[in-house]
Amino acid sequence: MKAHRILLTGVTGQLGFALWPRLRLFGEVLPATRHGALPGGGRGLALDLAAEPNMLARDIARLAPSIIVNAAAYTAVDRAEEEPELAWRVNAEAPAVFAEYAAAHGAWLIHYSTDYVFDGRRSALPWREEDPTAPLNAYGRSKLEGEEAIRRIAPRHLILRSSWLYGPRGRNFLRTILARARRGEALRVVDDQVGSPTAVSVVAEATVFILARELAGGSFEGGLYHLACAGQASWFDFASAILEEAMAAGIIAHPVAIEPIASDQWPAKAVRPAWSVLDSSRAEQVFALRLPHWRVALRDTIAELAEAVQASGLFMGASTCPSP
């Protein structure tokens, strides 16, 4: 298999960090962050997705990747309502620049998107790729435009929509719940928003599986695919399961009170979709994937986190829980 030159953005984020070691299977990985600082120290590439598009295009051309994996995004959903221009620059304009490079140089572009492109106004059938989009907030609108720009411009693209991403590092819902539980805080969690909690390890492993399969075959079955864990849960269900698994793994020592609440009891600047469950059957069929149930992936993630806690004796909590 040909060794590729892979530009990976968003290495400081939970998904980019999970992808970083796994992508080395395919060649040289060029890890990029906004200021060039890498997790754990060291220097990578400085690539600012909020930069003026011509400057970003120049920087990408200088790196000359044969594969671009764009795991970077503006994910501060509520703050995007106050600074929609910045969200648009990072989530819509930057992917278009990546797509233009990919089209001009025959490169492959892998990009990650979100369930927030849907309005959530149904409650029975999971969302499929062909369902109409209607984002409710600035973040969702910017992510949808990024998708559409890539589909218009780049012949060799793979867009992977996921839902409620979390992992053992970074700022996410899992770590927020655990941090508050370890402090003994009572929890009030929204129970009328339902989605598909998805571990970043699942998305990263699926990405590598797809790449290995397609590169070995000499072709690339591109397009738009949903990639989320099986099953569904409300945020309350998810939080309750986190506490249950964390108790079993010894990450938290004592039970904490948890109360279900309605969305209007947790005021936020951005409206969230009430139904975010994704149907991933197309990706499973096309790429011969088998995605785990969200409870299985959660148990695996908790086990990984428990090992890290035991090794270090520390637990770094997160103060906020941005959406994917």
Burial class (CB in 10 A: 0-12, 13-18, 19+), 228: buried
Task: End-to-end CA distance of the chain: give it in Å, rounded.
Answer: 33
Burial per residue of 69-99, b for 16 or more beta-carbon CB atoms within 10 angstroms, e otherwise = bbbbbbbbbbbbbeebebbbbbbbbbbbbbb
Among 13, 30, 220, 226, residue whose Cα is nearest residue 109: 220
Among 115, 317, 110, 114, residue whose Cα is nearest residue 204: 110
Residues involved in catalysis? 139
Rounded Cα–Cα distance for residues 301 and 307 (Å): 10
The angle, 0 to 180 degrees and rounded to 10, between the axes of the packed helices 294-312 and 173-182 is 50
Rounded Cα–Cα distance for residues 154 and 134 (Å): 23
For tokens 């220097």, what's the residue? 43
CB-CB contact of 197 with 323 (8 Å): no
